[in-house]
Structure 1
């Protein structure tokens, strides 16, 4: 009785010359996928001459790093670094978790000659336009309150931002002004903001690239005690030191949430 046998076709390895020919016609994504097939395919699909051309074409600014920093870095790894960096660059930043309505802005002015004055405003009290900037004007029309505070060169301001319910507080600035405060001029206060990264970076004086700024418009008022140099208006904001323009409300909130969100101690 004849016994039937099933013969399996032997697996034939693809010649490297064929793989090489195929590889030269693949795009970067297909090359990366093909490199996962086997060790021999990986060796072919990650060869330097394939990825060197791709690096020079797509990321010429990174191509020179290989010669100046890590000459042993494979070209396919260099391409992946460039691709990942470009993808992150075009990825929109995450939307802030806190809103302006959740915040209280508390400003206190002090000096040795006058009793301190404090302004408290909720974020919801500010009117925003279609492209809102982190720059806000404060109402100081309470004449009786502000006439008691006479501005002098040693005037100090403290600006705190508080999360509703006092779940968090962040001091934007606590400093003296710059220059002499005279009627008709502006009194300026500024403080560089700390890094919003890890605690170590902030404690080591890391920079955020942003500056908190406060402007007092000074005017002269005639009252029962004679002429006094008083505050006419107050304006606060956050500037980017890259272009010295005010950051957007969204960027300002994204920065503040690092310091205001409740966390476990």
Structure 2
């Protein structure tokens, strides 16, 4: 009779690690090693995926997610919650994508008017603006040499409009259209601001959402005899959270939602 090749029962039992031992080892593993260990076999997967192992890891690394466990039925496993938290953290740490439209492809058109003076318009191409992505989305335009602006007399009732146009008029977005009184500081400079709609599809402006940003315009005045005239126009985009001007790339990423062609 040929010798049997089957393993003795004692050898088979010795090759299986008791779950109690696995549990003791698992309590000392970091999340990455614990996840890798769960791939060894079905029994290891069951042991290494236990809620009592992942609960401490989840509440330690992502305490704000722990209350989401019972938002679904049956309750979400802690291992799943930990994975969601880890994925979310990696996405937040990922650097933002470069804007798809460059500053050079834009045209800034600013119009100021009131009941006493005819409208004056300033057209400034993006090619004439500083394109350093680390700089702020804030731009100054000197209008002292513009004859029409010299004839424009500023009144308390002054209306301002700021449109941004994509090259070839492929798209246009109204950053500001303020009708009424501006806020004039010490009888000199005029300030205008408008909260911007949430970025998204073309209906974002009508759906009531907000972006957390404000379009800002400043008219810097000077005395010309008994008249007040504009010598500089300043425009920019402010963050409501920090009350600082956003960066150029952040401003461009916002504008591309409204300027890029979309299906109607």
* TM-score scaled by length of structure 1: 0.84
- Structure 1 regions of 5+ residues with no counterpart? none
Given the alignment of the two structures, is residue 155 of structure 1 paired with residue 173 of structure 2, yes or no?
Answer: no
Given the alignment of the two structures, is residue 141 of structure 1 paired with residue 141 of structure 2, yes or no?
Answer: no
Q: State the match for 1:214 in structure 2.
A: 217
Q: State the match for 1:248 in structure 2.
A: 247
C-alpha contact (below 8 Å) 2:111/2:161 kept by paired residues: yes
Distance 1:125 1:8, change over 3 A: farther
User: Equivalent residues in 2 for 1:70-109 (5 A)?
Assistant: 72-109=75-112
C-alpha distance in 1, partners of 2:174/2:144? 25
Q: State the match for 1:114 in structure 2.
A: 117
Distance 1:95 1:162, change over 3 A: same
Distance 1:100 1:199, change over 3 A: closer
Aligned length: 258
C-alpha contact (below 8 Å) 2:132/2:248 kept by paired residues: no
User: Equivalent residues in 2 for 1:4-83 (5 A)?
Assistant: 14-36=17-39, 39-63=42-66, 65-66=67-68, 72-83=75-86
Q: State the match for 1:236 in structure 2.
A: 235
Distance 1:5 1:245, change over 3 A: same
Give the secondary structure class of the aligned counterpart of 2:118: strand
Give the secondary structure class of the aligned counterpart of 2:177: strand
Give the secondary structure class of the aligned counterpart of 1:114: coil
Distance 1:42 1:129, change over 3 A: closer
Higher mean C-alpha displacement, 254-263 vs 23-32: 23-32
Q: State the match for 2:262 in structure 1.
A: 263
Higher mean C-alpha displacement, 99-108 vs 50-59: 50-59
Task: Please list every run of at least 4 consecutive aligned residues from structure 1 whose deviation after the TM superposition is greater than 4 angstroms.
Answer: 4-14, 36-39, 66-71, 177-184, 198-202
Q: State the match for 2:172 in structure 1.
A: 169
Give the secondary structure class of the aligned counterpart of 1:96: coil
C-alpha contact (below 8 Å) 2:183/2:191 kept by paired residues: no
Higher mean C-alpha displacement, 110-119 vs 137-146: 137-146
Shift of residue 172 of structure 1? 0.3
C-alpha distance in 2, partners of 1:158/1:67? 50
